[in-house]
Chains A and B, each alone.
Chain A
Amino acid sequence: METVIYILSWIFLLGGAIFLLVGAIGILRFPDFYTRLHAVSVCDTMGAGLVLAGLMLQGGFSLVTVKLLLIFYFMIFTGPTAVHALAQAALQGKLKPVVDEHEQQ
């Protein structure tokens, strides 16, 4: 049982690391500010979420796990708020988003 949880926690940790890496690649590859925000949200939700889930499995039933849950809970609320603040600041700064022309008709 112990080994199963240990292996499972490493699967979560590695999965989280992969999503964080993909998010970072996305920040580099995407064409403009607004599309890059979407790559940031991959890091924010899946990357950090899976890493925290893996750490919770390592922590077991303890205060550490409760604290990790609280971190996850706060991130779920502060992450989108920060992304929204960035996006709105960019829009009010008159930064034009790149849009796909030929699908807009």
Chain B
Amino acid sequence: MSNLKHAFNMTLFLFAIWLLLSGHYTLLLLIFGLLSTLLIVLLAHRAELIDREIHPVLLKPSLLPYWLWLAREMIKSNIDVSLRILNPRMPISPKIFTVRAGQKTDLGRVTYGNSITLVPGTVTVDVDDDIFTVHALTQEAAADLESGEMNRRVCNVENVF
């Protein structure tokens, strides 16, 4: 029965997005919008895509501290990488290494892998269960990731999903 709840949530969320994107609020168009939303939910149901993962993670306020921390890391490493690009000597020291992901769920691992890639200076190249192969632009970026702070923070927000 919880599937019905997920389907209802998905309908609400999709219709909210439709309202925000369309900007048309006449009755006829609202009905068309609702019908197309229901059609999409029906298709998703037939493709067996409706499960707990469709829940809009964006709206969870407990994720906010993680977003803010990630934004700060992104700005820091963006400036670092930019300065290295512009430096005439180009002080880079590329490295390939592996890190262990401490997350239990698929969604947690996706979040960790994507966060690694999102921060310039490190890219997740390969994922094999909980072993991530990572390419880093500099030894410092690699050491930063190996300190495991990001891993710990993703583990903390993982149970929110």
Using CB atoms and an 8 Å cutoff, list the residues of chain A in contact with chain B: 19, 22-23, 25-26, 29-30, 32, 34-35, 37-39, 41-42, 45-46, 63, 66-67, 70, 73, 76-77, 79-81, 83-84, 87-88, 91, 97-100, 103-104
Using CB atoms and an 8 Å cutoff, list the residues of chain B in contact with chain A: 17, 20-21, 23, 58, 74-75, 78, 81-82, 85-86, 90, 92-96, 113-115, 117-126, 133, 135, 137, 139
Number of residue pairs spanning A and B whose beta carbons lie under 8 angstroms apart: 112
Q: How distant is B89 from chain A, measured CB to nearest CB, in Å?
A: 11
Question: Which listed residue (A19, A30, A67, A91) contacts B78, Cβ 8 A?
Answer: A19
In the complex the two chains form, is B126's CB within 8 Å of A98's CB? no
In the complex the two chains form, is B125's CB within 8 Å of A63's CB? no
- Bound Cα distance from A73 to B67, whole angstroms: 12
Which residues does chain B contribute within 8 Å of A99, judged by CB atoms?
94-96
In the complex the two chains form, is A46's CB within 8 Å of B78's CB? yes
In the complex the two chains form, is A63's CB within 8 Å of B94's CB? no
- Bound Cα distance from A62 to B114, whole angstroms: 30
